[in-house]
Structure 1
């Protein structure tokens, strides 16, 4: 065997809507959804990567005796946007197609550029967080499709 590996072809299982687990960096252990794949890299990044949106802080458990203000605070969802190297995440069997409808991919791509104002990024994160939160409150059912979304929004236990 030679020291250099052959370049990998397109990865068919890494496609928009696939739920992945981030393995490296600040978001290690967090779940994310692939919005767009970049097989030949993007900008200065010469490695294959994907644009992902993920859950930084999942909704917390709500109990009956809590006041409405506490419930509202506990149901908030924190999100993150990032370009992630293919080797730094692990795809799962779940898909989350509703994320593609909640988030405009071109807007996220623009926000990930370095010359964007922080206030604009915060506003977009807040908007996407509210969309995820509404989805959580709507999908309380236990259908096959809702099970993937429910798993996506639960905290990872290990």
Structure 2
């Protein structure tokens, strides 16, 4: 997100230093000046940087079915639901992580003038399931209850490709049911950034 530069002189350092010693809460927003070499002036300006502390922890009692945003990787910026969490880690993954289900391709906009076929086609959701490190998740205040997913996504799901595909189908069915009901509208809208 870029903002006009204005009359302020060029600075190459952030306005507030991003030091590891700085105490951050769950997340903190800072403004930095972005100067790109060999780019025209409109590409320069202040940008908003979201800093997430490394010691971000999830409360085990409230985390299940909690909606979070993935911060890095292929699905960065996508919304996910935390299905299971492992605070201490496992033998294969010795770090705190969570099994999440999210939306890779969001449903498109639907209007009254569209026919039933077109509405059905535009209401499709492409899901993904993944194991994500806690440091790559930004928890939100939203909660999404998915009754149909109990037992369908487990740590053993990721060992067999066929089990993974079956789990994705179950997640897709649960998400599309939820979307067709019209509940949890925020979860099914794409983040614009």
TM-score, normalised on structure 1? 0.77
Query: Matched residues in 2 for 1:9 and 1:134: separation?
Result: 32
- Give SS of 1:24's match: coil
Q: Does 1:31 align with 2:82?
A: no
Question: 1:19–1:40: structure 2 CA closer, same or farther, 3 Å change rule?
Answer: same
Cα drift, residue 43 of structure 1: 3.7
Asked whether the equivalents of residues 19 and 92 of structure 1 are also in contact (C-alpha less than 8 Å), the reply is yes
Considering Cα pairs closer than 8 Å and 6+ residues apart, tell me whether 1 or 2 has the greater RCO. 1
- Give SS of 2:112's match: coil
Mean Cα deviation higher: 34-43 or 62-71: 62-71
Higher helix share: 1
Asked whether the equivalents of residues 76 and 130 of structure 1 are also in contact (C-alpha less than 8 Å), the reply is no
Query: Matched residues in 2 for 1:42 and 1:90: separation?
Result: 22
Which residue in 1 is equivalent to 2:161? 117
Q: Does 1:152 align with 2:190?
A: no
Unaligned residue ranges in structure 1 (runs of 5+): 1-7, 141-145
Aligned length: 139
Query: Matched residues in 2 for 1:52 and 1:62: separation?
Result: 27
RMSD (Å) for aligned C-alpha atoms: 2.3
Provide, for residues 94-113 of structure 1, a one-character-per-residue CA deviation record: whole Å limited to 9, x for no partner. 111x22x1212464422212
Asked whether the equivalents of residues 81 and 108 of structure 1 are also in contact (C-alpha less than 8 Å), the reply is no
Asked whether the equivalents of residues 35 and 105 of structure 1 are also in contact (C-alpha less than 8 Å), the reply is no
Structure 1: which 4+ aligned runs deviate by more than 4 Å? none
